[in-house]
Structure 1
Amino acid sequence: MEELTKNWNNLTLSECEGLNFRRKEEQAKTEFILAAKFLTKRALNIDAIAKTFTPLWRSKNGFKIKKESDHVVLFSFDDNSEMEKVIAAEPLSFDKRLMVLQRYSKEMDVGDMEFSKVTFWVQVHNLPIRFQTKRIAEQLCEAIGKVNTGVDEAEAEGDNFMRVRVNIDISQPLSRGRVVSLDSGSLLAESKQFRPWLKAAPFVPNRKYVVKVPGFFARKKAEAAKEKLETMKNKLVVVVRTSK
């Protein structure tokens, strides 16, 4: 060992090799990367992945796919907004299996990433009419995971239920429920148990569940303004020129 250390100390760099090459941070390529783990035992086909997500994500500048391991793929985007748009579309699946997304940077080791958090839409059913509010639905879902409170009111209201965006730790058992106390008492024992109603019906975004009706005078005012605008558009403009 001492001889090896002695030989190492005798090594020197040539004049060309010893030149200090500095890399500036602004010269680095700007990429926004998502690491995706596919929860499947099948081998991944990158071409099939590209064909599946290209029409779904509709990226303006496109994206690059790199296979990092057997079931982990890196998606590289030029624009951060496009990457955030993909994250906002969770949950995502491929070949009927869940795909777990996580932001990735060059300093991270893919092997150390947990891939344990996925954001789901959670439906809250059978709330009393007076308690069917976005805030109460979010408070109930805090027992499941981290609630995203930035969802619009229109997206949160369903037919006879409320929808909440929740980031859930899929490595933990799913919460069986939550005890709700009311002024008149709490829920019945049979209402607290795990039942088939936990599996929610699919949500159809194209169907209107809630229609907002403006006040009577506000509607009349809007109609009058619209009628006035149409009248102005239909008026003929006559230009009279006089000769000198």
Structure 2
Amino acid sequence: MSKQLFFPILSLALFFICTKTSAQIAPAPPVKVDNITSILEKGGQFTSFIRLLKATQVENQLNNQLSIPNPNDGLTIFAPSDNAFSSLKPGTLNSLSDQEKLQLVQFHILPTLMSTAQFQTATNPLRTQAGDVKSGNFPLNVTAVGNQVNITTGVVNATVANSVYSDRRIAVYQVDQVLLPLQIFGPTPAPAPAPAAPEKDVPVATPKAAAGDANASGAMSLMKLCSNMGFVSFGFAVFGAVFWSL
């Protein structure tokens, strides 16, 4: 082979080798990260819960956490179905303030990733995003009997119906009841009784004293009458003595 053909062929071979190598080490396209809305929409029965997530802006918070490829703790979400919301008393959600709606949604979210197997050894009460459980305002207790997972809040008893979605970042479970926290839906303490008004001193007439006064007054009148009669009698006596002396 002549030198005129050797160098062009060598250059062409090196070009193909370099092109193939660079293709092998090219970075893989980023994995699509699902957001919480798309996860719930695939479940097909979480319209009411999605509406609450958007209204309270918790949706944005969850999506930001889902954007982290390898989170430290992950998330667990108990998603009530539309049937669960339908079983609430009419006007329940409308009666809540914006802060209470936020706490209601956060009460359905655990700041740790829990598999179904971990429910067997969970330490109750579980910590939710709604608040500190030490105060007793937001207790969430989970018990697992076989494959059935039960949740109690102090207001309602719910059951985990099935697993909706899970990966290394998030686990979503369907529950058959809206988890109503004790802080918001617990019994309202009875108001303290109003202090009794102080009694006023009212003078009360004593019947015996009144009777005594009446008797004393009658005695004085009788004595006065007797005194007057004695004076008259004395006058008649004097008049009689003078008359007979004449």
TM-score > 0.5 by shorter chain: no
Larger gyration radius, structure 1 or structure 2: 2
Q: Which has the higher contact order (CA 8 A, sep 6+)?
A: 2
| TM-score under structure 2 length normalisation | 0.27
Query: Higher helix fraction: Structure 1 or Structure 2?
Result: 2
